[in-house]
Amino acid sequence: MFKLNKSVNIMVVVFCVLFLSACQLQRTAPEESLEQRESALQPKEADSTSILLNEILELANIGMTLGSQINVLESKMEQVKAEWGEPDKLDQAGKGSYATYDGKRVAVGFNEAGEIFDVRSYANSLSELTPAFIKETIGQPDQVRNVNNEEIYVYELNQMIELKFIIPNNSKAVHHLSILNQDRVNVDKTKEVYVLDIKGQSNQLTASAWESMNVWRKQIVAFAKEHENVYINGPNKKQVALTFDDGPDDNVTSAIIDILDKYRVKGNFFFLGSNAETYPDVVIKAYDGGHIVASHSYNHVELTKRSQEEIQTEIEQAGQAIKSIIGKEPAILRTPYGETNKQVAAIAKQEEYSIVLWSIDTLDWSQKEASNIVSNVMQNVRNGDIILMHSDSEKTATVKALPKLIEALQKEKFEIVDLETLLNVKAYQ
């Protein structure tokens, strides 16, 4: 009897344990099932997005993007039209053009020679890509640009190709892609490239300073040849442009404007934003006289030694300072000291600025005599020269030299024009 009761007790205990375990499973099963479903779904979604992103990267490396066979390394616009017909929309952008094909959800950028330099995809699947996932999957971008309420992730690939993800600030996902071939941007290979060496000298420079200047001159000329928005000189026409940096001030700049007006020629003033705010009446005088009011940054800092954000701030702050005075933001920038690199050129371009340097340096900041200023120009002048002078308060010798310089140039039948005329670029935004 004892043994039977003991067996019954054991069975009862086992039954209770099983019953309680079943009850516990009933309570926890729904929660565990939800977690399992989420964990099962997430890898599938991540896999799908990873496949898309890897496809984009593979195509970009060979110059292509989603939704087309167009290649920024070798395709031409005539081939696109032969396959797709006329575009739904055609827009000018700088010196290039963009053709939009709505049905393909693709826009194509091409230069004057008809070469494709940019293909943009607006595929619906791009909305799956978030900034965090892009960085996690293919790493940090080489550049992050902020333009027109958009954040642009730039990845520099091979053969001058840039892969760009454009993400509106009010969105958490990619709006469109761009595959850009910098080597083809705005290149017209049917025309001869006319880029001048930089001339002008001073006997006040040390041997090392002169050597450094010559090294920089060669480097910046080579750089300008590779970047369509950087200018050293104008075309091979009997025209020149007179440019003045570092103003305005309360004396020299006004005197220069008066001389230009007297001879009925146009000048180009690269004003510092900080100085423009101090002397707004002089800025207005230059603008009202029909002279170009351009930007020389806000604080005259060496932009190549600044961060992307600092470069952008210098350009934007100067532009807004000038706009607050004349009602227009400049579209021409001269970088302080002429120092320009790939990052500076890219940011200037996204801010819709042409960078205009010079092909003759009068060195009015070094050997300041009026005679040297004139001889530096007249012994070196060529078609299309952009002539560098300064209009800050110390440049009284420049004021003395200017009438003689204008008369000498006119005697040699050079037309003195503004940069908008010389370079065929817009002066204002």
Q: What percent of the chain has pLDDT over 70?
A: 87
pLDDT band at 86 (very low <50, low <70, confident <90, very high): very high
**What interhelical angle do 252-263 and 396-411 show, nearest 10?**
20
pLDDT in tens, 250-274: 999 999 999 999 999 999 999 999 9
Q: Write the pLDDT tens digit of every residue in 340-386.
A: 999 999 999 999 999 999 999 999 999 999 999 999 999 999 999 99
- What DSSP string describes 350-380? HTT-EEE--SEE--TTTS--HHHHHHHHHTT
DSSP state of 236: S
pLDDT of residue 21: 40
Distance of alpha carbon 301 from alpha carbon 339, whole angstroms? 10
Identify which of 37, 17, 107 has the alpha carbon closest to the alpha carbon of residue 66: 107
Q: Residue 6: its pLDDT value, please?
A: 41
- Give residue 95's pLDDT: 62
Identify the three-state secondary structure at position 307: coil
pLDDT at site 46 = 59
pLDDT > 90 fraction of the chain, expressed in percent and rounded:
79
User: What value does the mean pLDDT take over residues 280-299?
Assistant: 98
Residue 13 pLDDT greater than 50, yes or no: no
Residues 6+ apart with CB under 8 A from 70: 64, 79, 80, 106, 108, 116, 119
Active site residues: 245, 390
Contacts of 318 by beta carbon, 8 Å cutoff, 6+ apart: 271, 272, 273, 276, 295, 296, 297, 298, 330
Choose among 165, 190, 162: nearest CA to 72. 162
**Can you give the pLDDT at residue 183?**
81
CA–centroid distance for 141 within its chain: 16
Structural domain boundaries of the chain? 50-181, 207-423
**pLDDT grade for 193, boundaries at 50, 70 and 90:** confident
246-to-242, 293, 320 alpha-carbon distances in Å: 14, 12, 17
Averaged pLDDT score across all residues of the chain: 88
Report pTM. 0.61
pLDDT tens for each residue of 34-83: 344 444 444 455 588 899 999 999 999 999 999 889 999 999 999 999 99
pLDDT at 202 over 70: yes
Cis status of the peptide bond prior to 30, with omega within 30 of 0: no
Please report, in angstroms and rounded to a whole number, the separation of the first and last CA atoms in the chain: 105
Closest CA to 217 of 203, 198, 201: 198
Q: Find residue 98's DSSP bridge partners.
A: 91, 109
What's the pLDDT score for residue 187?
56
> Tell me, what's the pLDDT at 27?
36
**Torsion (CA) 298, 303, 307, 311 in degrees, nearest 10:** 40
Determine the length of the chain: 429
Q: Which residues contact 62 (CB under 8 A, 6 or more apart)?
A: 71, 73
Mean pLDDT for 105-109 is 95
The pLDDT tens digits for 319-336 are 999 999 999 999 999 999
Is the pLDDT reported for residue 278 higher than 90? yes
| 337 pLDDT higher than 60 | yes
Nearest CA-CA partner of 106 in 93, 97, 119: 119
pLDDT of residue 45: 52
pLDDT in tens, 125-169: 999 999 999 999 999 999 998 877 899 999 999 767 999 999 999
96 pLDDT tier (thresholds 50, 70, 90): confident
CATH topology of domain 207-423: TIM Barrel (3.20.20)
Nearest-5° angle of CA 411, CA 414, CA 417?
130
Tell the residue number behind the tokens 């799908």, with chain if given: 48
